[in-house]
Amino acid sequence: MLEGLDPEQRAVATALHGPVCVLAGAGTGKTRAITHRIAYGVRAGLLQPSSVLAVTFTNRAAGEMRGRLRQLGAVGVQARTFHSAALRQLQYFWPKAVGGSLPRLVDRKVPLVADAAAVCRIRLDRGELRDVTAEIEWSKVTQTVPADYAAAAAKAGRETPRDPAEVAQLYSAYEDLKRERAVIDFEDVLLLTVAVLQDRQDIAEQVRAQYQHFVVDEYQDVSPLQQRLLELWLGDRENLCVVGDASQTIYSFTGATPDHLLDFRARHPGATVVKLVRDYRSTPQVVRLANGLLAQARGRAADHRLELISQRPAGSEPVFTEYTDEPAEAEGAARRIRELIDAGVPAGEIAVLFRTNAQSETYEQALADAGVPYQLRGAERFFDRPEVRRAIVALRAAARFGGNDALLDDAPDLPSQVRAVLSGEGWTAQPPAGSGAVRERWESLAALVHLAQDFAAARGGATLADLVAELDERAGAQHAPTVQGVTLASLHSAKGLEWDVVFLVGVAEGMMPITYAKTDEQIEEERRLLYVGVTRARERLHLSWALSRSPGGRPNRRPSRFLTGLRPGSGATGRGGAGGGAGVERGSFGAVPAPAAPVPRRGRRSPARCRVCGRTLTDAGEMKLMRCEDCPSDMDEGLYERLREWRADQARRSGQPAFCVFTDKTLIAIAETVPDDEHGLARIPGVGMRKLGRYGAEVLAICAGREVADERDPD
């Protein structure tokens, strides 16, 4: 059980008694260390599996921990999120503590907040609704009641979306509505569990008799409410192991604080403290940049930073690229990603990370134009996809009646049985050409095939019924398998994940740090957020920024202050070294930057203006149409229909969805402008040089009223 662990990981695994604090840097194998600790204790007979509760913050992390523990033979250990563990206890003890059944749990607070605003006669727009909801969540996890909200918000330095008195009024009305409708929210699950354990000593003792040992992952993200629940679970015992990294505290807006981690030794003077700094994830070049970021940090978390030591062979230097505008930045990233995929890098091992979800659309469009499959992290849940639901139904039927299914006669093991069943749902040994919906459906089924292979390897003799049970458990926890496709994700949602290649985009002042980060504490959290993004990369890292938002805009943006001293030509290198040999490039729309030397920046473009009313355009969709959405269209309807028919034929022949050929807005723009040469066609946003070379002749032929077949090579 201890083989393969480094000395520090082994120290974690063998520290089974008393309080233990593991300070674990990014990529240092903390999950490996704590799962081996639990499994070692179970196999040595020192821990009873049913007496161990491992707590983390996401369903995905809890599912991964359960899977690793099963592989290590520690079956029966509970690995859950705080909310999942609390909800399970609350459902069990509610009839005894309160009577009746537990009130219904609401999934979304926003409708209730909107109703509370109506009761208070306060008008909130969509953004204010979201922000007030976030304030209510913060108040509850910090155990702040409505009457104390204004003072607590002022003390915490929060910028409130409305007058603090109004927010407090809305918060109070929201709580009243919940009581009237007999519903609870996710924060109530923790609050009510705390209340039950505080008020009912007999129930608290029953829980403590069940759970003797606790492990808390990502301890830097614990809120005051979660800390209080943990203390009630523990009682006067000290069989607690916490794992965290203050330099990865990025959720303070939700009430998370690293203080519990940093104060652990003060609260537990006899604690064993182990530091994990051997980085097994990233190359020395990536680690050097990450260390350089933290070397410039300030504040309490920075005083406890861990300097990582890469254990991997040397790789390529991080690449810094400057673009003229955001569409050019997106196209540049998409072009590089296309080249990586063509060179053999799996799409699932590439990620584009940005500061805000609003940045996603530009990159979705750029990747679609480049024919690159992608998935949005935080979009539709894997187990909610229609093809996944149908596949699980088919697997369940095969598990129940497979003995009478000739399809399984030649399938001797679990993976081959799954492949046989899913072949009837559209899975093939080779992926379909292209991207889009067809490829996404195939990727979903392929993810189930890969999961079956991993499951069979981990559990010898596993059956279809065992796999279906595993899928049901994963669906309940939303622990999805890996889906191929470039990942688009915000930096916050990328926490806990990793890829071979990471593109950190929009690394400019105003976005990183974000404009509304004003205080020193907020600025330092933005730095930590960038650190989290950097440490997601295993082998290659690209950082980029744009000088203006839209084509023709004023080039008044500058790279993030966090990169000062870390990229060539940006001043003195920060303490601790920052990879001074990193490559730098400057990119512009339609040009491939040379890797060795800076490429001269293109001259400033004229603003994109509506060709009907002359207004300056900033919306990406309007810029593609080259007119305002509301301005009248002079589109040639017949030409548009011919272009649509041609596009459908192209999509069928290439095996990719139609939008990967050209989007509807690009076709509309073509049908409105009716270009008569390649120069005119290339000026239309969404065409690009790659598509101009591939489709230009045929599109121009259609615009000229000629048959497309006349333009094709007869051979």
**Is the per-residue pLDDT at 414 higher than 60?**
yes
Residue 602 lies in a domain: no
Rounded to whole angstroms, the Cα distance separating 170 from 110 reads: 12
Residue 264 lies in a domain: yes
**Is the per-residue pLDDT at 663 higher than 90?**
no
* 399 and 472 inside one domain: yes
Instruction: Give the pair of three-digit tokens for residue 462.
Output: 């596993």
| Residues across the chain | 715
Confidence of residue 608 (pLDDT cuts 50, 70, 90): low
Residue 508 lies in a domain: yes
Domain boundary among 224, 259, 276: 276
Contact 382, 448 (CB under 8 A): no
Rounded to whole angstroms, the Cα distance separating 324 from 570 reads: 19
* β partners of residue 537: 499
188-237: per-residue pLDDT in tens? 999 999 999 999 999 999 999 999 999 999 999 898 889 999 999 999 88
Confidence of residue 74 (pLDDT cuts 50, 70, 90): confident
Residue 549 lies in a domain: yes
- Considering 119-123, 156-160, 317-321, 644-648, the range whose residues carry the highest mean pLDDT is 317-321
Give the lowest-confidence range in 206-215, 256-265, 490-499, 583-592. Answer: 583-592
421-430: per-residue pLDDT in tens? 888 888 888 7
pLDDT of residue 57: 83
**Is the per-residue pLDDT at 580 higher than 90?**
no
* 468 and 520 inside one domain: no
31 known ligand binder: yes
Q: How many domains does the chain fold into?
A: 5
* 49 and 90 inside one domain: yes
pLDDT of residue 618: 55
pLDDT of residue 595: 36
- Segment (H or E) for 87: helix 82-97
pLDDT of residue 440: 65
* 502 and 534 inside one domain: yes
pLDDT of residue 281: 95
* 68 and 214 inside one domain: yes
Residue 74 lies in a domain: yes
Rounded to whole angstroms, the Cα distance separating 553 from 547 reads: 9
Find, among 308, 294, 355, 219, the residue nearest to 524 by Cα. 294
Q: How many CA atoms lie within 13 A of 440 on its CB side?
A: 18
3-class DSSP state for residue 458? helix
Contact 10, 32 (CB under 8 A): no
* 489 and 465 inside one domain: no
Taking CA atoms, 148 is separated from 155, 164, 290, 375, 513, in Å, by 11, 10, 40, 42, 30
pLDDT of residue 626: 64
624 known ligand binder: no
Residue 112 lies in a domain: yes
Domain assignment of residue 84, given as a range: 7-94+200-276
193 known ligand binder: no
- Considering 529-543, 580-594, 604-618, the range whose residues carry the highest mean pLDDT is 529-543
Identify the burial level of 259 via C-beta atoms within 10 angstroms of its C-beta, where 0-12 means exposed, 13-18 middle and 19 or more buried: middle
30 known ligand binder: yes
Taking CA atoms, 564 is separated from 6, 190, 201, 285, 579, in Å, by 35, 43, 56, 17, 12
- Segment (H or E) for 420: helix 414-423
Interstrand relation of 20-24 and 240-244 (parallel, antiparallel or unpaired): parallel
* 394 and 456 inside one domain: yes
Instruction: Give the pair of three-digit tokens for residue 225.
Output: 């409410």
Q: What is the mean pLDDT of residues 267-294?
A: 93
pLDDT of residue 504: 97
- Considering 266-270, 379-383, 656-660, the range whose residues carry the highest mean pLDDT is 266-270
* 73 and 209 inside one domain: yes
pLDDT of residue 404: 61
Rounded to whole angstroms, the Cα distance separating 98 from 203 reads: 12
* 376 and 387 inside one domain: no
24 known ligand binder: yes
Rounded to whole angstroms, the Cα distance separating 134 from 155 reads: 17
614 known ligand binder: no
* 470 and 509 inside one domain: no
Residues contacting 7, CB < 8 A, separation 6+: none
CATH code of residue 669:
1.10.150.80
Residue 46 lies in a domain: yes
506 known ligand binder: no
Confidence of residue 582 (pLDDT cuts 50, 70, 90): very low
254 known ligand binder: no
Residue 680 lies in a domain: yes
* β partners of residue 214: 53, 240
Q: Is this model's pTM higher than 0.75 or not?
A: no
* 342 and 399 inside one domain: no
> What is the chain's alpha carbon radius of gyration, rounded to the nearest angstrom?
28
Confidence of residue 433 (pLDDT cuts 50, 70, 90): low
pLDDT of residue 554: 83
Q: Over the range 480-518, which residues count as b (16 or more CB within 10 Å of their CB) and which as e?
A: bbbbbbbbbbbbbbbbbebbebbbbbbbbbbbbbbeebe
Domain boundary among 229, 260, 276: 276
CATH code of residue 205:
3.40.50.300
* 472 and 495 inside one domain: no
Output the DSSP codes for 478-508. T-PPP--SEEEEETTTTTT--EEEEEE---B
pLDDT of residue 541: 97
* β partners of residue 47: none
Residue linked to tokens 């379909």: 432
Q: Over the range 564-602, which residues count as b (16 or more CB within 10 Å of their CB) and which as e?
A: bbbbeeeeebbeeebbeebbbbbbbbebebeeeeebeee
Pick 682 or 210 by higher pLDDT.
210
